[in-house]
Amino acid sequence: MSSYTYCTVPRRLLTQVSQHLAVVNYHAMAAMHLRVSHLTAILGGMAELVGFVFLWSAVYLSSPALAGYSFQQMVTYYVVAMVLSEGARYETNWELWSDIRDGKLAAVAIRPISTCSYYVARQIGQVILPTSIRVAVAIFLGLSTRQHIFVPYLPTQWMAFAVSVAFAVYLASLLSVARGLAAFWLLDYGPFGWLDHLLVRFFAGGFLPLGLFPPLLRAIANWLPFRFIVYDPIQIYLGHTTVAQALTVVAGQALWVIGTFALVVVLWRRGSRRYTGEGL
Amino acid sequence: MKASSHLGAGVRTMIRILRHCMGYSLAIEAASPLGSWSNAIGAAVDLAVSLAFFQFVFLKGVDSIRGWSWGHLLVLVGSYNIVLQLHSALFGASLGRIPRLIRTGSLDTVLLKPVDSQILVSFHLITPARLVYCLYSVPAVVMGIRHLGLSVEPVRALLYLVTLLCGTVVLYASTLCAQATAFWLGDVYGVSMLAGQGMELARYPLDIFPRAMQLGLLTVFPAAFVAYIPARVLIGDYELVLVGAGLVMAGSWLIISRLAWRAGLRRYVGAGE
């Protein structure tokens, strides 16, 4: 291998990283223009959270613990789920579908960056601001109602949680891209969107911890990748996992990331052969 | 005499246009059978997820939630889904288009038509085929009533239907107000989320909330009228004043939505993208 190749490999890698960061940065800035909208949307998210908290406080009046969750842990579950659901928002599928349908994908494909990773970077850029606001809200809630919010004190727990969240966001983005690529074959993805959103949130544990599911549905959820997006990172946060189990979760996330990445590559290669750029 | 014949002609024009809108929506549904199936399954899954939430909790040994047993919650969640599907079939798709009409200036074409613009933007994508999805919730409501060992006399059934319609009107008017903020804000993502998630509170029994919040959900943001009041009526735990309050609230919110729409139109300049 020549010295030239040694020099160009890191340079190419650096260029790619800076290209992706530029996409993330641009879409984070674009989201800043909608900051009032994001703040109002967070109030909506808070309304949902308030509903869950009062519902569970009523449930816990007749039962001190449910499926191993105390009331404090249940409230914490929903607060962390509120943050994670925003960080792993599933909107790339809609945007990709719209770009394929309208023929706008051609404009993205000519950019000097892989098209699929462009959409992943775009989603990450879009969720930075709303997720940061939700993190701030969660910290505020944690500080103001300390008796209701559980905060882990072990550094290893925080580290494992941070790693699993990073994988969760990336996995959610890849799954979203994979679903959006269905637009190469489906003329109208719209009607599937709501169903898709409901099922993903349900099996991710966004409505209810998977520990409360009956055995059959629990088994189905265990075979799907969605639990790695919300449920499993929260289990690590709450300390419901040992170090070995936390490592198993991260390994599972990594495997699903690899598998979904391969699926995206295959779908992209097959789908882009069908694409004409005509739009509708 | 002349005024009444003028009104009659207006109503006839409106009915004709609505008939065309329905025909157009049916043609869209027929053109995308896969989409129609997906919508049908989506509506069923939505109901199943709401019921599963409570079912899983009750399976863990919980007897009741603030006096609401599994039977009560079947009636509540079923009623909520009936109102939701009624709203979705009659106005859901049309109201969702309002911000785009305003942003792009396409509202001009609506304003040029010889019918009331609020009615047209509310109904132009009416999808009567989706009214069938309301039927999904009927077994849940019937099961709830059976579970409670109740019988429903015709008057109570009629009052239940009246309160369900009031709930649909309240949901329609609040959604229209949220979408009409596009006249002032341009982007309504946040407001829609706030209104939508706020209305989700209608899925829960009002009794789980503290007093101040209960008052807010009965007056300022009347989510309680969407499902809680109809459920109470059907269960038989009600006074006639509740039904009257539902009618007053529906009327008030219709007026509020009318005022909001007209105020928005005064701001509209048609300078779209």
Mean local confidence (pLDDT), A151-159: 88
For residue B86, what is the DSSP state?
A: H
CB pairs under 8 A between A and B: 115
Rounded distance between C-alpha atoms, residue A72 and residue A150, angstroms: 6
* Residue A8, pLDDT score: 66
Q: Range with the lowest mean pLDDT among A31-40, A78-87, A250-259, B200-209?
A: A31-40
* A212/B60 touch (CB, cutoff 8 Å), yes or no: yes
For residue A215, what is the DSSP state?
A: H
Nearest residue of A to residue B43, measured between CA atoms: A195
Average pLDDT, chain A: 82
* B208/A58 touch (CB, cutoff 8 Å), yes or no: yes
**Which pLDDT tens digit goes with each residue over B139-181?**
999 999 999 998 888 999 999 999 999 999 999 999 999 999 9
* Residue A10, pLDDT score: 75
Query: Which chain A residues are Cβ-neighbours of B41 within 8 angstroms?
Result: 195
Closest CA to B128 of B225, B13, B28, B257: B28
- Torsion, Cα A146 A152 A155 A159, to 10 degrees, reads -120
* A44/B32 touch (CB, cutoff 8 Å), yes or no: no
**What's the burial of B96, exposed, middle or buried (CB within 10 Å: 0-12/13-18/19+)?**
middle
Mean local confidence (pLDDT), B99-111: 87
Rounded distance between C-alpha atoms, residue A114 and residue A165, angstroms: 24
* Residue A190, pLDDT score: 65
List the structure tokens of B67: 């006096």
| CA distances, B111 to each of A225, B94, B100, B115, B200 (Å) | 49, 15, 15, 8, 33
Interface residues on A facing B, Cβ-Cβ cutoff 8 A: 34, 36-41, 43-45, 47-48, 50-51, 54-55, 57-59, 61-63, 66-67, 186-188, 190-192, 194-195, 198-199, 202, 207-208, 212-214, 217
Is A87's pLDDT higher than 80? Answer: no
Backbone angles phi, psi at B68, to 5 degrees: -95, 110
**Which pLDDT tens digit goes with each residue over A118-153?**
888 888 888 888 888 888 888 887 777 777 788 888
Beta-strand (E) ranges in A131-222?
A: none
Mean local confidence (pLDDT), B50-64: 87
Amino acid at B133: Y
* Residue A1, pLDDT score: 47
Mean local confidence (pLDDT), A62-75: 83
Give the total residue count for chain B: 273
* Residue B247, pLDDT score: 95
Best of A212, A213, A217, A280 to disrupt the B interface (most B CBs within 10 Å) is A212
Q: Crossing angle for the helix pair B70-87 and B134-148, nearest 10 degrees?
A: 160
* Residue B173, pLDDT score: 94
Which residue of A54, A57, A202 is in closest CB contact with B49?
A: A202
Tokens 């023929």 belong to residue: A103
Beta-strand (E) ranges in chain A?
A: none
Mean local confidence (pLDDT), B219-243: 90
List the structure tokens of A132: 């940061």
Q: Can you say how many angstroms the Cα of residue B184 is from the centroid of all Cα atoms in its chain?
A: 24
* A43/B201 touch (CB, cutoff 8 Å), yes or no: no
For residue B71, what is the DSSP state?
A: H
Q: Range with the lowest mean pLDDT among A77-86, A111-120, B29-38, B135-144?
A: B29-38
Average pLDDT, chain B: 87
* A59/B45 touch (CB, cutoff 8 Å), yes or no: no
Query: Which chain A residues are Cβ-neighbours of B195 within 8 angstroms?
Result: 44
ipTM of the modeled complex? 0.86
Q: The whole model's pTM is what?
A: 0.86
User: For a pLDDT cut of 90, what percent of chain A falls above it?
Assistant: 23
* Residue B24, pLDDT score: 82
Is A69's pLDDT higher than 60? Answer: yes
Rounded distance between C-alpha atoms, residue A84 and residue A54, angstroms: 21
| CA distances, B158 to each of B152, B227, B238, B263 (Å) | 10, 15, 14, 36
What is the secondary structure of B19-83 as a DSSP string? Answer: HHHHHHHHHHHHH-HHHHHHHHHHHHHHHHHHHHHHHHHHHTT---BTTB-HHHHHHHHHHHHHH
**Which pLDDT tens digit goes with each residue over B256-272?**
999 999 999 998 877 65
Band of the pLDDT at A245, cuts 50, 70, 90?
very high
Tokens 């020099």 belong to residue: A7
Mean local confidence (pLDDT), A17-21: 80
For residue A89, give how far its alpha carbon lies from the nearest alpha carbon of chain B (Å): 14
* Residue A133, pLDDT score: 81
Rounded distance between C-alpha atoms, residue B188 and residue B196, angstroms: 12
Band of the pLDDT at A256, cuts 50, 70, 90?
very high
Is B120's pLDDT higher than 80? Answer: yes
* Residue A280, pLDDT score: 45
**Which pLDDT tens digit goes with each residue over A219-235?**
999 999 999 999 999 99
Is A23's pLDDT higher than 90? Answer: no
| CA distances, A219 to each of A214, A216, A224, B50, B51 (Å) | 9, 5, 9, 20, 19
Is A163's pLDDT higher than 60? Answer: yes
**Which pLDDT tens digit goes with each residue over B191-212?**
888 888 888 899 999 999 999 9
